[in-house]
A and B are shown apart, each in its own frame.
Chain A
Amino acid sequence: GIQVEQSPPDLILQEGANSTLRCNFSDSVNNLQWFHQNPWGQLINLFYIPSGTKQNGRLSATTVATERYSLLYISSSQTTDSGVYFCAVQTGNQFYFGTGTSLTVIP
């Protein structure tokens, strides 16, 4: 199956700081999504972004499919941004998840 690597594995930020999370994948994919796992374990959709750039408020994402990576940008971070961020790629019938970036935003 496809290998999905996320970096950094852990990130601690001061409130208000900006950050970039990266997702590298090993093969062509037909779907890429970013999720935020909240403290109760639910995966919240952030972006459906197989290619191109999207923005939603303080968050934006860019996927360069030809180079097999995606970036998630978080600007002006807030404590509510804390949690684990997952990148998931899909080829065929399965989503393949990275191991996540654990983000802690401190006030």
Chain B
Amino acid sequence: GAGVSQSPSNKVTEKGKDVELRCDPISGHTALYWYRQSLGQGLEFLIYFQGNSAPDKSGLPSDRFSAERTGGSVSTLTIQRTQQEDSAVYLCASSPLGGDTEAFFGQGTRLTVV
């Protein structure tokens, strides 16, 4: 597609369940980022991919969070044993090369843990 695509758009899950969030970056973009935005909060960095490698995972808040990227394209963010504080909008972005190049964001996945 022409832009960054994320799915699902909305996800409601019960506390304790696992969820998977998907990001399809712009074709040919090697850099991919995950961020989250909690209600009334700023944007918080989670993880950065260059190709299939994640040289920067420093923003993942706990070991319940993991992410992978396959084929230098699609990325999946997995949250295990979800907690209410995981409720947020999860945003994915991609850019052609990483630093020094313009990044584009998807529409986000709104996760609600009940």
Contact = CB atoms under 8 A, between A and B. Distances in A.
Contacts of A98: 42
Interface string B65-103: 000000000000000000000000101010000111111
A93 B55 contact: yes
A26 interface: no
Contact of A90 (B37, B89, B99, B108): B99
B105 A43 contact: yes
Contact of A40 (B48, B93, B98, B107): B107
Interface stretch (A29-37, A64-72, A74-82): A29-37
A88 B48 CA distance: 15
A94 B100 contact: no
Determine the interface band of chain A, counting residues with CB < 8 A from chain B: 20 to 34
A90 B110 CA distance: 25
A100 B89 CA distance: 16
A92 B107 contact: no
B43 A41 contact: no
A30 B91 contact: no
B20 interface: no
Contacts, number: 58
A98 B110 CA distance: 21
Contacts of B61: none
B108 A41 contact: yes
A93 B101 contact: no
A68 to B, nearest CB: 17
Contacts of A97: 42-43
Contact of B101 (A31, A94, A100): A31
Given A42-B107, A50-B100, A94-B59, 15 more contacts: A31-B100, A41-B37, A41-B89, A42-B105, A45-B102, A48-B102, A90-B103, A91-B99, A92-B56, A94-B48, A95-B45, A96-B45, A97-B43, A99-B42, A100-B42
For the complex of A and B, list the 8 residue pairs with the smallest distance between their C-beta atoms, beginning with the closest.
Answer: A48-B102, A93-B56, A43-B105, A93-B48, A97-B43, A42-B107, A94-B45, A30-B100
